Chains A and B, each alone.
Chain A
Amino acid sequence: MSIEKITNPFDARHWIGHMEADYMYTLGVVGERFFKELKENGRIMGTRCPNCSIVYVPPRMYCERCFAKLEEWIDVGKKGTIHTFTIATIEKDGKKLEKPVIYALIKFEGAHGGMIHKIGETDTVCIGMKVEAVLKSPEERKASINDIAYFRPTK
């Protein structure tokens, strides 16, 4: 099949291609309101299902359990509990990170779901730890999930 054993794929004749794929992701009715509240009022909001009595964070227009349309908005506060976490030591390209990054799923009290975010201001972390969102200053906020700088252990 092959004439000589090639051990580096780049030694074989090849053509380098690049897939251009820029995209604009429209936020929709619910995303619009969530990020407006986060940017302008520094609030984390969820939507509540009247049938299932659960609050979705991030909010959405419909309940994934009963398929009801959700219209009731609830401020879930900025404090939550770490449901699970990890400490990443490598970057996407496989290189070692200069400083490990802690990622966690933070669940808010009374809410179904929560937020995936980074944990800061601490090197020790555990499941069940109480944390709170640290928001960027109003001028720095851009209606992005990164308007939250990170979560930190509650004082």
Chain B
Amino acid sequence: MSEVAIVGFGCSGFKPITPELSYKELMFETAVKAYEDAGINPRKDVDVFITCAEDYLEGFSIFDEFVPDQLGAVLRHLFTVSGDGMLGLATAYMLIRTGHFDTIVLEAHSKASDILTYIDIVAFGLDPVYNRPLGGHPYYIAGMEMNRYLHDTCTTTEQCAQVVVKNKRNGILNPYAAYGANVTLDQVLCSETCFYPLKKLEISTPADGCIVMVLASEKIAESLSDKPIWVKGVGWCTETPSLETREWTKAVYTRMAAEMAYKQAKINNPWMEIDFAEIHDQFAYKELQHMEALKLCDYGEAGKLLEDGLTNLNGEFPVNPSGGLLGMGYGLEASGTQKLLEVVLQLRGEAGRRQIPNAEVGLAHTWRGIPTATGVVAVLSNVKR
């Protein structure tokens, strides 16, 4: 079976608003960068185009009909995955592994600033009969989950707040990040408790942006890129949608996705064999909960590792060197590709002032946000082996 590599990317950067561009123009400008990076012509060199988008977030029904033209994919072979960009990566990976496809374009974006009632759309993700009639801001679910996570693991509110300090600080070093900042632990802890124990500054703010990636089979990857980044394994998993019966302490969906990816990538000890990770941190506590689910440490230990500085940019195992979603901005269905992008940049040695020296293996993880329990994990390396 063919190995799979990421051979090019384009990124618009993430910003609070992009009023100057329509979503189509945002995608077009990003796609042009990706095709230039990979040195391909979309009109003849691409076997399959995959876009990742959720209708409600785009303000369309059947949004997949509205994406071919701005990618150079009219009358070409395109489909949309209704989910996070990393579910698109999993699909691209499988297609290339079949041996029938050599070049695949993957796209995901967020035009969050166009959505006038984002939280209403999130609330629409709740069960219509058992949950939705209660009303309220749906992030109460994050507050409830954080509360149970802290209760069962003895993780502290200070440790959760420290995630924000670290990630926003990393974001300052990332030109693609919308919300990099120097915030203090006190500022986070003193920000409003919106959903006890969850604080306002622990909630990532949506941002606009687009990422396009070009994936290629082993056969042509090295001819398209000097620095192909190999996808060593991808895994995904979905827990029950039932809030009443799902697990509230451990992110089981991420554990199962990680086990699937690690098996393919032949990873036995993730902390030792992987150099850094990009982990879904829409809410600060989720970085810690996900670290544990990713087997980077035992349950309840992530907060301590963070507190001891091990997951800092210069630590033993940097987590979210990009600034995470807290620093970059929450890119909705592009979250997974935000994670993937940072892993690619680090492994190419193009992460600038936040470059992790000698990084060889990186992990990208995503989650589909409240109220979902879907996770995707990928292990990537700049060494083919």
Contact = CB atoms under 8 A, between A and B. Distances in A.
Give the size category of A's interface with B. Answer: 35 or more
A103 B129 contact: no
A9 B119 contact: no
Contact of A58 (B128, B130, B136, B194): B130
A127 B195 contact: no
9 contacts: A11-B19, A84-B147, A84-B151, A86-B143, A90-B137, A91-B136, A105-B244, A114-B244, A116-B244
A6 B20 CA distance: 7
Interface residues of B, number: 45
B193 interface: yes
Interface string A66-96: 0000000000000000011111111111100
Contacts of B244: 57-58, 105, 113-116
B245 A86 contact: no
B196 to A, nearest CB: 4
Interface in A101-150: 101, 103-105, 112-118, 127, 144-146
Interface string B108-144: 0000011010011001000011110111111110011
A8 B135 CA distance: 30
Interface string A1-39: 110001111011010110100010101000100000000
B133 A144 contact: yes
B184 interface: no
Contact of A86 (B129, B140, B243): B140
Given A88-B137, A116-B134, A118-B134, A105 B243 contact: yes
Given A25-B128, A127-B147, 12 more contacts: A2-B19, A12-B19, A12-B20, A25-B129, A83-B148, A83-B248, A86-B140, A90-B194, A91-B136, A91-B137, A92-B123, A113-B245
For the complex of A and B, list the 9 residue pairs with the smallest distance between their C-beta atoms, beginning with the closest. Answer: A86-B143, A2-B20, A12-B19, A84-B148, A113-B244, A113-B245, A87-B196, A6-B19, A9-B19
Contact of B143 (A11, A57, A87, A115): A87
B363 to A, nearest CB: 28
B242 interface: yes
Interface string B281-325: 000000000000000000000000000000000000000000000
Interface in B232-252: 240, 242-245, 248
Contact of B129 (A6, A11, A145): A145
A89 B194 contact: yes
Contact of A127 (B59, B135, B148): B148
B59 A17 contact: yes
A24 B13 CA distance: 40
Contacts of A23: 128
B147 A117 contact: no
A64 interface: yes
B88 to A, nearest CB: 24
